Amino acid sequence: MDEETLDPEDWATLAELSHRIIDDAIAYLREVDERPAWQEMPDDVRDFFAEPLPVSGMGADGVYDAVIRNVMRYPMGNVHPRFWAWYMGAGNYTGALGDFLAAVQGSNLGGGNHAAAYLELQVIDWCRQMTGMPEDSSGLLVSGGSMANFTALAVARNVHAGVDVRELGVAAIPRPLRFYASNQVHSCHRKALEALGHGNSALRQVSADSELRMDIEELTDAIREDRAAGFQPACIIASAGTVNTGAIDDLEALADLAAAEGLWLHVDGCIGALLAIAPRNRWRVAGIERAHSIALDPHKWLHAPFDVGCVLVRDARAHRETFAVTPEYLEKTPRGIASANWLHEMGLQTSRGFRALKVWMALKEHGVEKFGRLIDQNIDQAAYLGELVAREGCLETVAPATINILCFRYRRDGMDDATMKSVNTEIMLRLQEEGTAVLSDTTVRGVHCLRVAINNHRTRRSDLKLLVEEVVGLGDSLSERYPRYG
Ligand SMILES: *Cc1c(COP(=O)(O)O)cnc(C)c1O
């Protein structure tokens, strides 16, 4: 009987296809701004995704052609210079090569004694150096900020539960735990506390001040009140950069309060932790190094291709004790592959991808200083956009940019809120459908607005100028639909 393999019969043919893929990939990025930022898929492309399970193969050439036609043409758009929706990095080519090489090597980062595992530990240590956490901190690369926050909150919970919660479960916790965050906190914290078994009610949301930072007086009162009512305050979740507006909580003051109250200070730095490497903006996150744990996102301001997040934990032992289980089939050996620490003991996943290489290669290629300058550049660009918006009578700033996020809207005198919301929503959708730019929307202090988050190393000021011209043009023509404003 003939034995089979997934390797090609003819390596030379596969090499030819691979070279073509690389050439196409380089052209794809080189010419990214000549394509729409986003485009709707035609019906035949949608139908393509309903094709049934392939029973026999079509060969690699055919597969690649189908990917080019149906997939590569219809991206989300975040590698485009005018993509500013939600909060994403713009990727980078060297990082993509890193993902490719990681997959070729194929190592499983559950851990062990091999180069990939050491390289991941090095990247975690670089993240630690970037944020100034102490040398004996621990960490882990995870899928993104959501998992980084979850991992940190699990450690905080176990440390403050007051019982062996791993053995006994949350029902044995004597007094219900409380976690505190501003009402601007990312939704992943709610999900984390739900999954950890405490429920959303364990997350006490504190008001935000006029700059949308956590109100520390109200927080202090909330902690006292909860103690008096029989709750166990456990953890303050500081936002270093909120999704809505980029607001950064007062980290020094929160570190002081956490110390005085004996609480865990977790910093959700998915947006802002990396400000610590930006020469002109690092002052904004002063005190971050005092956290018990930090979540940060290399797939945002380090522009690593998705996905990669990083959790850092000051107390390495508490981190390990939250997750480590050593089954008989994963015991350490004195020599060989199993002679190093297992990375799976630091989180939920057992098999893990080689996410570190794409981060490592881009950092080595450019150096951390360049990434820091790019962060400063995005912040300057958001301020520039703020100036352009201020110059237009029909545009109104809803939340000014403190870092790289600006919220604004199109308005006309006398236009009511509901009309403004539909006009602005329509502007946002037309910008997408025309392929000009991708923005998202949000509501800040009850005001619906367009939101521009410039987390993009390809954005130029000319892109922002074009955005403002297009928004004004679309807004003017749309308001003609409403006779009172035409
Ligand atoms: C993006 C983000 C998250 C979630 O991170 P993912 O990488 O999307 O999982 C959490 N908190 C903040 C502040 C974020 O910006």
Pairing, β 395-399 against β 309-313: unpaired
In order along its 486 residues, the chain shows pLDDT tens digits of 789 999 999 999 999 999 999 999 999 999 999 999 999 999 999 999 999 999 999 999 999 999 999 999 999 999 999 999 999 999 999 999 999 999 999 999 999 999 999 999 999 999 999 999 999 999 999 999 999 999 999 999 999 999 999 999 999 999 999 999 999 999 999 999 999 999 999 999 999 999 999 999 999 999 999 999 999 999 999 999 999 999 999 999 999 999 999 999 999 999 999 999 999 999 999 999 999 999 999 999 999 999 999 999 999 999 999 999 987 887 889 999 999 889 999 999 999 999 999 999 999 999 999 999 999 999 999 999 999 999 999 999 999 999 999 999 999 999 999 999 999 999 999 999 999 999 999 999 999 999 999 999 999 999 999 999 999 999 999 998 877 776
Q: Is 150 in the pocket of ligand 1 (CB under 6 A)?
A: no
Nearest of 175, 208, 188, 103 to residue 145 by alpha carbon: 188
Q: Which CATH number fits domain 99-367: 2.40.340.10, 3.40.640.10, 3.40.50.10470, 3.30.70.100?
A: 3.40.640.10
- What's the token pair of residue 278? 């930006």
Q: How far is it, in rounded angstroms, from Cα 337 to Cα 111? A: 9
H or E element: which one contains 268? strand 264-269
Q: Buried (b) or exposed (e) across 363-394, using 16+ Cβ within 10 A?
A: beebeeeebbbbbbbbbbbbebbbebbeeeeb
Pocket flag, ligand 1, residue 475 (CB < 6 Å): no
Euclidean distance between CA atoms 27 and 280, whole angstroms: 34
Give residue 329 CA to ligand 1 midpoint distance, Å: 35
Radius of gyration of the chain (CA): 25
Kind and range of the H or E run holding 28: helix 11-30
- CA 234 to ligand 1 centroid distance, Å: 22
Q: 265: which residues sit within 8 A by CB, 6+ positions away?
A: 235, 236, 238, 254, 255, 258, 290, 291, 292, 293
Report pTM.
Answer: 0.97
> Which residue type does 484 have?
R
Tokens of 319: 């981190």
What DSSP string describes 424-458?
HHHHHHHHHHTTS-B-EEEEETTEEEEEEE---TT
Cβ atoms < 10 Å from Cβ of 94: 18
Sheet strands (E) in 108-253: 138-142, 177-182, 203-206, 232-239
Q: Contact at 8 Å (CB) between 457 and 426?
A: no
Q: Whose CA is nearest to atom 3 of ligand 1?
A: 145
Cα(308) to ligand 1 centroid in Å equals: 11
Does the beta carbon of 247 sit less than 6 angstroms from any atom of ligand 1? no
Cis peptide before 10 (omega within 30 of 0): no
- The CATH T-level fold of domain 370-485 is Aspartate Aminotransferase, domain 1 (3.90.1150)
Ligand 1 binding pocket mutation candidate from 127, 143, 188, 239 (most atoms within 8 A of CB) = 188
Q: Please tell me if the CB atom of residue 266 comes closer than 6 angstroms to any atom of ligand 1.
A: no
- Check if 243 has its Cβ closer than 6 Å to any atom of ligand 1: yes
Helices and strands (H and E) in the chain: how many: 15, 11
